[in-house]
Structure 1
Amino acid sequence: MSKILIVDDEPYIRLLLEQVLETLEDGGVEIITANNGESALEIIAAETPQLVFLDVMMPKINGFDVCDQVKHAMGLQEVYIILLTAKGQEFDRQRGIEVGADQYMTKPFNPDEVLAKARSVLGIEGP
């Protein structure tokens, strides 16, 4: 079973992403959520999701540090991480690349683009 982890400290963003991705649950995809970086690291270590939508600005541990720990300290290169952030400056994009993010999406995001990317990463055919 494929797993997607949604990590954001804003409840409405988590809910929106869950609603966008819920159609994938019919294809056997499990959706997991976390509201901070600390919880995200625990879930990633325990569940090893194939795809993580990761907010950058969060309490406890920010998304850059979570991504860096997953990709470098934990060595989980196979976990596809998409950083989601309102910070769209080039400096922030560069930092995302440095910590090992596979993709960088700015908020507000396009729900169709999120779903298409999830399908692509998980190898699920579209409708």
Structure 2
Amino acid sequence: MPNVAAFVLALAIVGLVVEMLRRKKLREKYAIWWLVVGIATLILAAFPQLLDVVARTVGIQLPSNLLFILSILMLLGVTLHLSWEISVVEDETRALAEEVAILRVQIEDMTEQLPTAQKSRIENVEGHP
């Protein structure tokens, strides 16, 4: 009976990931990990003895320990990947903030050189009193 629960859970994970992909709520590069987990769970639920065979082949006494090791390695991989993604986004955000600051200074310099009548029209458009 536990295999049926694992199989249903794996089907639910795969179905949810596919639905999130279809609705564009999850990007493909992140969905790959979830699909791998779901498919691996489907395979292990269908063939539970496979985990025993792999554990013995690798030299691990308890199959559950192999499952925990693989889960921890996957979580470490996901964490490393997300840390890398955050670093890239931080660099892009910093570059954009610097660019906006430069453009703001350039606009202020340009408005200082305009005649007074044009300055008041620009300030009204920008929402400044």
Larger RCO (CA under 8 A, 6+ residues apart): 1
- TM-score by structure 2 length? 0.29
Per residue, is there more strand in 1 or in 2?
A: 1
Which protein is richer in helix relative to its size? 2
Larger Rg: 1 or 2? 2
Normalising to structure 1: TM-score of the pair?
0.29
